[in-house]
Amino acid sequence: MLSVTELVKGVLSGNRRHLARLISLIENEDSQAQEALVKLYKHTGKAHVIGVTGPPGSGKSSLVTKLTAEFRKRSKTIGVLCVDPSSPFTGGALLGDRIRMQEHSLDDNVYVRSMGTRGHLGGLSRAASDAIRVIDAFGKDIIFVETVGTGQSEVEIIEVAHTVIVTDVPGSGDDIQAIKAGIMEIADIFVVNKSDYPGADKKVTEINTMLDLDPRERVWRPPVLLTNSRTGEGIAELADKLMEHFNYLKESGLLEQKGLQRSREELQSIMKYKLTQELSHKLQGKPEYEKAIRMIAERKKDPYTVAEQLIAEFLLSEIR
Amino acid sequence: MLVAKPGLDGHDRGAKIVARALRDAGMEVIYTGLRQTPEMVVRAALDEGVHCIGLSILSGAHNALFPRIMELLKAEGADDILVVGGGIIPEDDIPDLKEAGISEIFGPGTTLQEIIEYIRSNVKL
């Protein structure tokens, strides 16, 4: 068993096996993972994190593969994190995104990792943001994060990515779909993939029409690009746009602003998680806790008052 | 768990059925797709941090490819990963493959349950 110090040293010096090991520890919520993350934190924040989201079968993995090839030509190193759904019944998962990415599998400058959602909703796994951080510390210039095939409201990707690509394909629903809330609002770049399919231009027009109606005053209007992952059409232009968006974030000060916002949200969510853990640790199995639950179920007490009482007691006991 | 198809055969119905069964048994299964070199299989196993590799082969090249995969794993110090094989593999070849480090070979007629149970009781987590 490797020590945390060895793991951290390995990740910082480019040891892929240590990287793989640490990501597994994070996924398994091992106590060593947090120790390692504490040590790695100051080495993070350098990579350009690009989220790729869109419906199942819209060509996300193929797009990431082509973009990886394009950015490798431009001498960038690449990390890829692909998330696929876990079974709500067995916890098992079939992670198939790697199939499309095998052309890069022997490139030392590309690291691909698959993950199951393990019950987490929102399009990513709970471990995703920490895994991205570790790949960042490992030194990859660009990290692609491919979400599960999304429906309409899995928008968690905006919390971890600097640039979000939303993929769509020709023939997927009418123009009403394009003006619905949710996923259509989070794109920094729209990609209409499979450009050789009939209806590709119509899809581009529908998305552009939707953008014309967007009341937000934005300097960056998301471009709508046509790509074809089979022929490579439009990939170089997409890569240019991705760089352009990252530069825009830097020059406009938005990158800094997003960073602050993200740190605030992350701190809050860690505090919430830790407090909840502490609280349930204290209460779990206590007879009075079980009794209160029973009384709530029997309508003798209400959950709102009981929750307030328990929290008040917890805070008092912590002060003492 | 990594399910891999080393070599040049183009049939992966068996590999997909096994992958699906392992998924239903609660495992996280990464499938590599067809026509993988031993180097690609080992790289995928290491990058994904898997505990077990299942090799499926129907081409007859198992005597060349399986030992090569074991060699590469050993060179990486990763021979603690449980490696099992399946497909069309003659009885006579099995002892040598086991000698090379493949833990078990599952031939035609093996039930999915047997594979699941074997992996569960032999994998080092």
Is this complex's ipTM strictly greater than 0.90?
Answer: no
pTM, 2 dp: 0.89
B87: domain range? Answer: 2-122
Do the Cβ atoms of B28 and A20 come within 8 Å?
A: no
Query: Which of B19, B40, B78 faces A105 most closely, judged by CB atoms?
Result: B40
Q: In this predicted structure, what is the pLDDT of residue A169?
A: 87
Interface of B with A (CB under 8 A): 19-20, 22-33, 36-37, 39-40, 43-44, 46-49, 76, 78
pLDDT of residue A151: 73
Instruction: Report whether pLDDT(B20) > 70.
Output: yes
Q: Which fold has domain A44-252?
A: Rossmann fold (3.40.50)
Among partner residues A20, A90, A99, which is closest to B33 by beta-carbon distance? A99
List the single residue in A with minimal CA-CA distance to B17. Answer: A94
Neighbours of B79 (CB within 10 A): 14
What does the pLDDT read at residue A180?
67
Per DSSP bridges, beta strands B104-106 and B82-87 are parallel
pLDDT at B37 over 90: yes
Q: Please tell me which of the candidates A21, A91, A106 has its beta carbon nearest to residue B40.
A: A106
Phi, psi at B83, each rounded to 5°: -120, 125
- B27: closest chain A residue by CA: A92
Q: Is B61 helix (H, G, I), strand (E, B) or coil?
A: coil
Residue-level pLDDT at A214? 81
Domain CATH number, residue B113: 3.40.50.280
Q: Interface of chain A against chain B, CB under 8 Å?
A: 16-17, 20-21, 23-24, 86-87, 90-96, 98-100, 102, 105-106, 111-114, 116
Residues of chain A with pLDDT under 50: none
pLDDT in tens, B72-97: 999 999 989 999 999 999 999 999 99
> DSSP state, B55?
E
pLDDT attached to residue B39: 96
Taking CA atoms, B40 is separated from B7, B32, B47, in Å, by: 11, 9, 10
Residues from chain A that touch B22, judged by Cβ atoms under 8 A, are: 92
- Residue ranges of domains in chain A: 1-43, 44-252, 261-319
CB A196 within 8 A of CB A228: yes
